[in-house]
Amino acid sequence: MGVGDPLGMHAAHAVISGMGGIRTAGDLVARLQLNRGMRIEAAKNYVADKLGVSAADLADTVLMNEIREDLDIGRVNETPAVAKGIDAKFRIAELLDLEINCVNMFKDRVGISSYKSFN
């Protein structure tokens, strides 16, 4: 899935859609696949370990909705006082130990060297 692969992004989107995207943990798994080049099983296991659930639980929409709300890493439904947009991405980057370009650009522009939301 390199830059020269015209079906690379399509394949990633198909895998994510099948896993439920942001309704479950598909977006988190995809970030690891694209950011670190992980295979899907390794990415699922990594995300499950970071969230404290089993890999099978990652596709459970009810459980993942509760986990996403508890960790404040974004949800499908617009909910007051729940992270959205860049705020959710900051938390995802920290939770999964990922480099997310828009988060890094935001930090550079506002002069933030580090960010810790979880205590």
| pLDDT of amino acid 23 | 66
Segment 82-99 mean pLDDT: 84
How many domains are contained in the chain? 1
6: tokens are 């015209």
Give the pLDDT band (50/70/90) at residue 110. Answer: confident
Residue that wins the pLDDT comparison between 8 and 44: 44
Q: pTM, whole model, 2 decimals?
A: 0.72
The residues, any chain, with a CB within 8 Å of residue 12's CB and separated by 6 or more, are 1, 30, 33, 34
| Residue range 28-71, pLDDT digits in tens | 888 888 889 899 899 999 999 999 999 988 888 888 888 988 88
Residue 93 is part of which domain span?
8-110
Task: Answer yes or no: is 23 within a domain.
Answer: yes
Asked whether residue 101 is domain-assigned, the answer is: yes
